[in-house]
Structures are given as structure tokens and as C-alpha cells.
Amino acid sequence: MSDYLPINSSSLRTDTKIGCDVYLLMKITTDSRYVLYCKGETVFENDKREKLIEENISRLFIKKEDQRKYYEYLESNFQYIVSDTRIPIDERTQIVHGAATNLVKDLFIDPRSENINRTKTFAYNMVDFILKEGNAVHSLLKIAIHEYHTYTHSVSVAAIGTLFAKDLGLKGNDLKRFCTGILLHDIGKTKISTDILNKKGKLTKEEFAKIREHPELGVEILKEAGIDFKDEYIITLQHHENYDGSGYPHGIKKEEILTCGKIARIIDVYDALTANRSYAEAKRPFAALVEMKNNMPNCFDEELFKKFIRFLGPYDPRGKRRKDDKLHS
């Protein structure tokens, strides 16, 4: 397996320091070799970009060990990169997803105010990207098929949830606050043992009781950070509340659950079902919706759930528009 990872040359902004060494893959006779093109602490100057354009080189490489540094670079230059139309939309979406995943990893390692503020800034920029790029919708939904992990789950729930909230009519700052809340919704799990979070097989009664604490633990973390949140608190606190009152932490129901909490509940379950988890294989999108409708009928606001089905209809990750309308009945 290669010790190098490919990156798009268009993701590098001129007159910036990338922070990690960048390589070309050169073919020398019958051999291929990675050759240093730009040192991480050297400014990536315009003549280097022009040379790549002249040689029609779009693919560069970084060492695997430098992936985090590269994602930090992408995050700090996020707005410039995702607005660059020279980069295909699918690749820009991959950049969004990769940078967001790296950010949430940092957040779960160190959930203090600095990383919470980074998450808020990134969420706002992510929403701007979604609003400007209509084609990002399908690309983001295609990416949201993954191996389940707390931070990848947070990113996928944020992508799907923000797109759905936009489809429902949320705009501007309301949509940005929603995206921030979704990215932060599981932050309370940072106070729960990874042995419990990553356990294969059924949780004990005591372990599940500990898991049920994470919404309130999450709100505590956000309040300790001293950041002025509102919707973010609600999403963090209510994303496990069920429409019939059987959820947690407070067992509230129906209109006691705010709309952003109801949306988060739907997306949270859908993403978990469509990801490979330690105790269950991923379901296809349609099968996940069927399970939610048949086996969890009282967990969700019925009208919102129907709207979610209609929202996913044109964007089936398998690339086929659904003809079966039974779920709507």
C-alpha cells in the first residue's frame, strides 16, 4: 500500500504555505518515483502552478502522515478552494467532507471553545458552499455512505440534515445555526468511555444508561465554552427525543420537541442505519426508510418524515429515481 495520498493541484492556493511537502509522481523508464515538488514551509508560488498547468498535471501527492496538516490547510483556505470552479464539484465536495471530518476529529479529541468556534466557522462556510452550488446536493449525499464512527457520523448527519433543512425552507443564519448544531450534536460522547462507544455487541443496562447521558453532557460542554448558542443547544439536547415521548433525556413529545430537534432525530437514525456499524451491516437507503416507517412509526413527526422521503427521492445514492411510492402512503 502506498505511503502517499493523491490531492488535486487546484486545491493549492498560490502565495500560501501548504504546511506539508507536496510531491509529483514521475515515471522514470519502467519505474515510478515520488519527487518533491514544493516543501511545506515554502510559499507555493504562481510559477509552480503555471508549470503544472503547462504540463497538464492535476494530481499531486502528500505523505499519508501529513494528511492532517493538509486538511488544516484546506480548512484555513476553505472559502477560496470551494469557490474555485476549476475543481470539479465532486472533488470540492470531497474536500468539504474531508476537512469537516478532520475538524470533528479534533473537536472530539479536545472539545474546548477553540475547536467549538472552529466548528461554527466551518459550518457557516459549508452552508455558503451548499447555497451557491446546487450540484453539491447529490455529491454530498453520495459521500454519506460510510463506515460508522462518531465523527464521520456527525459530518454525514450535518451534510444530509443541512440539505434537508434547506429543502424545508430554512435560510441564511437559521440554516447556518442548524448546520452548526448538527455538527456538534454528539459532542457529549466525548465524556463517555470509548470502550462503551465502540463496543461490539449489545450494551449492558448500565452502559446504555451512560450513553443516554450524552445529550445533556453535550449541552454542558457548549455552555462551558461560553458561546452564545440557541438552536445548537436544542439539537444537541433533543436529537434522541421521540414524537411519542419514548425518547431521552427528558421524554418530551409532539410539539414539545422543536422542529430542529425533530429533523435531527430523523437524520440521526437514517444515517446510523445506512452506515456499517460494529453490530450491523449498512442498509440501503430505501431499506432504511422502510425500517424507520415500519419499526419506528412513533419516533418521528409523520409529516416531516414524509417530507424527508420526498426529499431523498431524486437523490437516491444508487443513482436511480425511486418509482415505488408506497412509503408516502
Q: What is the DSSP letter of 28?
A: E
pLDDT per residue as tens digits for the range 266-307: 999 999 898 877 667 888 889 999 999 999 989 999 999 999
Residues 280 and 140 placed together within one structural domain of the fold = yes
Residues 131 and 241 placed together within one structural domain of the fold = yes
Q: How many CB atoms lie within 10 A of CB 199?
A: 15
Residues 247 and 114 placed together within one structural domain of the fold = yes
Q: What is the DSSP letter of 20?
A: S
> Count of domains in the chain?
2
Domain containing 2 equals: 1-66
pLDDT at 241 over 80: yes
Classified as helix, coil or strand, 294 is helix
pLDDT per residue as tens digits for the range 141-170: 776 655 556 678 888 899 899 999 999 999
Residues 219 and 294 placed together within one structural domain of the fold = yes
Report how far apart, in Å, the C-alpha atoms of 181 and of each of 47, 150, 178, 195, 329 are.
42, 15, 5, 26, 31
Q: Which of 166, 189, 262, 293 is catalytic?
A: 189
pLDDT per residue as tens digits for the range 11-62: 899 999 999 999 999 987 778 899 999 999 999 999 999 999 999 998 999 9
How far apart are alpha carbons 148 and 210 in whole angstroms? 20
pLDDT at 321 over 80: no
Residues 155 and 226 placed together within one structural domain of the fold = yes
Clarify whether 189 is annotated catalytic. yes
pLDDT per residue as tens digits for the range 89-107: 888 888 888 888 889 989 9
What is this structure's pTM? Answer: 0.84
Residues 3 and 23 placed together within one structural domain of the fold = yes
Residues 234 and 302 placed together within one structural domain of the fold = yes
Is residue 71 domain-resident?
A: no
Residues 56 and 88 placed together within one structural domain of the fold = no
pLDDT at 126 over 70: yes
Q: Which of 65, 70, 187, 66 is nearest to 123 (CA)?
A: 187
Residues 199 and 317 placed together within one structural domain of the fold = yes
